[in-house]
Amino acid sequence: MDAFSVSVACGTVYKRFHFPHALRLAGIFGFFQFAMPVIGWICGLTVKRYISPYQHWAGFLILTAIGCKMIYEAFKLEETEKKPMAESLPALFTLAVATSIDALAVGLTISLVTSHIWIAVAGIGVVTFMLSFAGFYMGTRFGHMFENKTEIFGGAVLIILGIKMLLH
């Protein structure tokens, strides 16, 4: 659901739906939601005690920084030519990591219970892909109705998701 919310926020920048951008965003988000539990599962108990205390802080800082940047840019007086988030691979990778850090912990937890995770992580990746694609589409369909306010809303959503990660 975090990836869905971020996808909606990314889609609000566009006035019309761009299939390649939606596909890229959904693919990256789906891949990271698939890969992070696998990485966590592989790491198992050996690094769990080192990662666990900081995963919430990392997600909080990344999402809050990007959210604040979005809000700041929405209030800029001069309109500059900016590259929408769904076109910027570094921004997409950052968002994908931030929204999938908790999946790393899921993988660590799964390693304690079972060695069979492939069906679960494949399902997580596919569902995240579909939700992210749908979220991007929804953002493009309804985001233009509110113009710059959607960037403010999208930034606020990212900050709220960051705070949610910090509190859990």
Domain ranges (residues) in the chain: 2-167
Q: What is the pLDDT of residue 77?
A: 47
Buried b (16+ CB within 10 A) or exposed e, 106-120: bbbebbeeeeebeeb
Decide if 116 contacts 38 (C-beta within 8 A).
no
Which residue ranges in the chain fall short of pLDDT 50? Answer: 77-78, 80-81
What whole-number percentage of the chain has pLDDT above 90? 19
Structure token pair of residue 156: 């606020």
37: part of which helix (H) or strand (E)?
helix 19-43
pLDDT in tens, 133-150: 999 999 888 766 666 666
Contacts of 127 (CB under 8 A, 6+ apart): none
Distance of alpha carbon 30 from alpha carbon 42, whole angstroms: 19
Confidence at residue 45, expressed as pLDDT on a 0 to 100 scale: 59
Secondary structure letter of residue 97 according to DSSP = H
